[in-house]
Structure 1
Amino acid sequence: MLHDPLQLVLPEDHRCADRTHVPLEELRDDDWIGAADPRDPCDRLLSWACAQHSFEPVHTLRTDDYAVVQVFVAAGEGVALIPRLALGPPREDVAVRQLEGAPLAREISVAVLRTTAARSIRELVEALTEQARLIQRRWSDADAGLA
């Protein structure tokens, strides 16, 4: 399983861009860029987190392309949460920050039917598990300033 934290992406000139951690309640009046499907798990997590602060995020744009999300954010059309794994190298004209408090994240895992006994499936699951470990280690090293 991979714990994939959601990163706050702001226009570089956003009033909160100079902070490392941004309180969610300070984004109450911002426009949000979300997934094309409002039932997207990341959007649902954002809605839940905002409800803890007594507001609902207003989505002004929706797309399923995270590169396009960064373009809209850079253009000042809103702010967004992007999973770290999907962020890729961020654009130079956006600020990537953490939300203050407990991190919001998605969990990525693999499921296999118990009746599946093929050796290739076991090997695939092992390879995916190893890649998840490598990604998590790389993120830990980067967060500690080692990478």
Structure 2
Amino acid sequence: MEQVSETFTIDLRRLTVLRELQRRGSLARTAEALHLTPSAVSQQLAALAREVGVPLTERDGRGVRLTGQARLLLTHADLIAAQLERARADLAAYGDGGRGQVTVGCFSSAILGLLPSTLAALRDRLPHLRIDVVESEPPDLFTALDAGQVDVAIAVDFAAAPPHTDKRYVRTDLLTDVLDLAAPADHPLAGQGRVALRELAGEAWIVGEARSCCGAVARSVCAAAGFTPDIRHAVNDWAAVAALVEAGQGVALIPRLVRSSYAGRRITLLTTDGEPPSRNVFAAVRAGSERDPVLAAVREQLRSMAAELVNC
């Protein structure tokens, strides 16, 4: 490999491929996330390595891993991406900031419980702004955010989400969404003041898929209580979860964000001992884009509506 040139140029699209490889850990998963073939991913990485003049990947068994130079390059890539976002935000701020198009990527509970009021308020406040909504969760949600396919990401803190220290994003904490323990109306524990979550360790459980934010959070809550739930039904739709609980098919942890999906159902909501199980809901934008007046308005409205939900 030749020495690093002082005048080298970098194709930013290839940097995106390298960033995604860091996130996904394999060529196959990177290709799937970017809708490319593994061969195309390899070609993009090889071309980037030629551009910068240093090796970026090395063999690791049957796969590849990033070299030290690649990890160093990625620290600069994050700064470059943030600066480009600042430039875009400054250009947007040159106008009145009330026009344009924003795509919001969001998990299902927040689409149901937070976005309708937010979008209605923004329609009155910025009638010329178009807002599109895409249902998505980490890690795919942040792949879309990195690629510019999503402008605002609304997610829950769990293993697949980026950490608070990730400098690629500017975060806004929105609310703490409490999870209520839902049981059939005739459950033996119905009517009790407080119950220990572990008392339901022997019950059949209705839990979302392990990769979903709600499924992951429910599993971790049960693990913290000292048991592994007996999952009889893997269901992600909250109306379906409430219907199964009502039918006596098991118990579930249901977020308060989706109250409308179980309003009127004959189910019992039980209060758990100690601090109630909950999940942190946040919004994120690409670092640098927070100065965009339109994105600032969207984030401000999300904060306002989240505060109203907490206080109601």
TM-score (norm. length: structure 1) = 0.85
Instruction: Indicate the structure whose relative CO is greater, using CA pairs within 8 Å and at least 6 residues apart.
Output: 1
Could you tell me which amino acid in structure 2 is paired with residue 87 of structure 1?
R
Identity %: 31
**Counterpart among 83, 87, 91 of residue 255 in structure 2:** 83
What count of residue pairs does the alignment treat as equivalent?
137
Could you tell me which amino acid in structure 2 is paired with residue 11 of structure 1?
P
Could you tell me which amino acid in structure 2 is paired with residue 83 of structure 1?
P
Q: 1:49 and 2:225 equivalent? A: no
Corresponding residue SS for 1:71? helix
User: What does 1:60-139 align with in structure 2 at a 5 Å threshold?
Assistant: 60-88=232-260, 89-116=262-289, 117-138=291-312
User: How far, CA to CA, are the matches of 2:293 and 2:301 in structure 1?
Assistant: 12
Corresponding residue SS for 2:271? strand
Give 2:104's aligned residue.
Answer: none
TM-score (norm. length: structure 2) = 0.42
Give 1:33's aligned residue.
Answer: 206
Corresponding residue SS for 1:16? coil
Q: CA deviation at 1:101?
A: 1.6
Q: Deviations over 1:66-104 (max 9, x none)?
A: 111111001100000011011325334101122212211
User: How far, CA to CA, are the matches of 1:111 and 1:40 in structure 2?
Assistant: 18
Q: 1:24 and 2:205 equivalent? A: no
In structure 2, do the counterparts of structure 1 residues 29 and 125 end up closer, same or farther at CA, with 3 Å as the change threshold?
same
Could you tell me which amino acid in structure 1 is paired with residue 221 of structure 2?
A
Task: Identify, as 1 or 2, the structure richer in helix.
Answer: 2
Give 1:145's aligned residue.
Answer: none
Could you tell me which amino acid in structure 2 is paired with residue 27 of structure 1?
L
Instruction: Confirm or deny: 8 A CA contact 1:9 1:73 kept in the other structure.
Output: yes
> Which shifted more, 10-19 or 44-53?
44-53
Corresponding residue SS for 1:22? coil
User: How far, CA to CA, are the matches of 1:53 and 1:122 in structure 2?
Assistant: 39
* Structure 1 spans left out of the alignment, 5+ residues: 139-147
Q: CA deviation at 1:53?
A: 4.0
Q: CA deviation at 1:38?
A: 1.3
In structure 2, do the counterparts of structure 1 residues 100 and 54 end up closer, same or farther at CA, with 3 Å as the change threshold?
same
User: How far, CA to CA, are the matches of 2:216 and 2:264 in structure 1?
Assistant: 25
* Structure 2 spans left out of the alignment, 5+ residues: 1-173
In structure 2, do the counterparts of structure 1 residues 128 and 52 end up closer, same or farther at CA, with 3 Å as the change threshold?
closer
Give 1:143's aligned residue.
Answer: none
User: How far, CA to CA, are the matches of 1:67 and 1:31 in structure 2?
Assistant: 18
User: How far, CA to CA, are the matches of 2:217 and 2:195 in structure 1?
Assistant: 17
User: How far, CA to CA, are the matches of 1:63 and 1:46 in structure 2?
Assistant: 12
Q: Deviations over 1:10-35 (max 9, x none)?
A: 10000111123221111011000011
